[in-house]
Amino acid sequence: MSFHDVYNQLNPDQLRLEINSKQQSDVEVALAKTKLDINDFQALISPAAAPYLETMARRSQQLTRQRFGNTMQLYIPLYLSNKCTNICTYCGFSLGNKIRRKTLSMEELDQEIAAIKAMGFEHILIVTGEADGTVGMDYFREVMPHLRKHFAHISFEVQPLDQADYEELIELGLNAVLVYQETYQREPYARFHLRGSKQDFDYRLDTADRLGKAGVEKIGIGSLLGLDEWRLDNLYTAFHLDYLEKTYWRTRYSLSVPRLRPCEGSFSPEHPVSERQLLQLICAWRLFKPELEISLSTRESARFRDNVMSLGVTTMSAWSSTHPGGYANRDESLEQFSIDDNRRPDEVAVAIREKGLEPVWKDWDTSLSA
């Protein structure tokens, strides 16, 4: 069994109708519960929940503090390569875009590590384009020893891999893998992914199952907000998460809510998501899954991040560079997309403390996880 068995039973037209048919009474029923189900989540992401946003935010804040305390985990993305063999219409790394391509050498990687360590980060997210010949398992085998020596927690956001590859990377020190379906709807997925291995919708959908079978410590899932209807895609994400929690119950889970940002090319989101809708989504997820880690990246503005950081988010990036070599040499001509919150890590830490929270750079010793 895999999530495919659940996925194939879902009817997007029926689910869309169910979401849009929710009434304010359904929202009130959901808000009165202490343990919510998929039907309640539908109500909280529906248009009918919009007038209840303040109530949802208060409840979300309370649940977040109960489960995670007054803390905010900080991480930083480390881009190893912008080489990519895919053509994805919304991505700055897409093969058709005329940008300079670069893959970090081990010397350049060490320079990036030094720059990141100087800022205080212990949690890193490794990001690459999808180019197996350049940044495949041979490359990952080479970089992992460099990373493991310096960081307490290593996450990957790279191309989907086979189960045996994940098992090997876990042995090398990998803690978590983030893999986003982008959109769970097959037709728009095909329109946005025109060439390369990422065209394989089914292989990507099965990635979380391969990770669960490999025994990874944490799996991150989500959809890219703006590609398709955000309510429908997040309902599919909810079904996915429910399945994963029941099937791979030893694994921890995280969710990201990335909105499309400007990048090289001329892509414009067909389904833009407002800040108010994004807040509704974050709060709905927190009420539905009180123990879920929720991440908010520097794609969002400093103002928005400051306003919502205490309302449901548990993890934030800071001073992100979206191109390889971006911390030792901040060259924006290589970036994947433009970020909005450009504050340095110490400035973000100050903002976190002003909200009554404590920034957490490291939550366990490397020696304890060895």
CA atoms of 328 and 279, how far apart (whole Å): 34
Arithmetic mean of pLDDT, 3-27: 98
Judged against a pLDDT cut of 90, whether residue 24 lies above it is answered with yes
Question: Which pLDDT score, from 0 to 100, does residue 262 have?
Answer: 63
Judged against a pLDDT cut of 50, whether residue 87 lies above it is answered with yes
Nearest Cα neighbor of 218 from 240, 196, 250 is 250
Q: Check: CB of residue 73 under 8 Å from CB of residue 123.
A: yes
Nearest Cα neighbor of 119 from 356, 330, 339 is 330
Please indicate whether residue 262 or residue 250 has the higher confidence score (pLDDT): 250
pLDDT band at 365 (very low <50, low <70, confident <90, very high): very low
Q: What is the pLDDT of residues 275-308, one digit of tens each?
A: 999 999 999 999 999 999 999 999 999 999 999 9
The pLDDT > 70 percentage for the chain reads 94
pLDDT band at 322 (very low <50, low <70, confident <90, very high): confident
Judged against a pLDDT cut of 70, whether residue 331 lies above it is answered with no
Question: Which pLDDT score, from 0 to 100, does residue 55 have?
Answer: 98
**Range 50-360 has CATH code 3.40.50.150:** no
Both tokens assigned to 125: 């997210």
Nearest Cα neighbor of 50 from 78, 76, 22 is 22
Judged against a pLDDT cut of 70, whether residue 320 lies above it is answered with yes
Question: Which pLDDT score, from 0 to 100, does residue 367 have?
Answer: 37
Question: Which pLDDT score, from 0 to 100, does residue 366 have?
Answer: 40
pLDDT band at 92 (very low <50, low <70, confident <90, very high): confident
pLDDT band at 329 (very low <50, low <70, confident <90, very high): confident
CB hemisphere CA count around 67 (13 angstroms) = 19
Burial class (CB within 10 angstroms; exposed 0-12, middle 13-18, buried 19+) of 217:
middle
Mean pLDDT of the chain: 94
Judged against a pLDDT cut of 50, whether residue 20 lies above it is answered with yes
CA atoms of 330 and 125, how far apart (whole Å): 18
Please indicate whether residue 173 or residue 263 has the higher confidence score (pLDDT): 173
Arithmetic mean of pLDDT, 22-32: 98
**Three-class SS state of 132:** coil
Arithmetic mean of pLDDT, 48-65: 98
Question: Which pLDDT score, from 0 to 100, does residue 332 have?
Answer: 59
CA–CA distances in Å: residue 101 to residues 81, 277, 290: 8, 35, 41
Nearest-5° angle of CA 161, CA 167, CA 172? 105
Question: Which pLDDT score, from 0 to 100, does residue 34 have?
Answer: 94
Arithmetic mean of pLDDT, 133-153: 97
Arithmetic mean of pLDDT, 180-204: 97
Judged against a pLDDT cut of 90, whether residue 113 lies above it is answered with yes
pLDDT band at 370 (very low <50, low <70, confident <90, very high): very low
Judged against a pLDDT cut of 70, whether residue 334 lies above it is answered with no
Question: Which pLDDT score, from 0 to 100, does residue 269 have?
Answer: 86
Q: β-pairing, 193-195 with 153-157?
A: unpaired
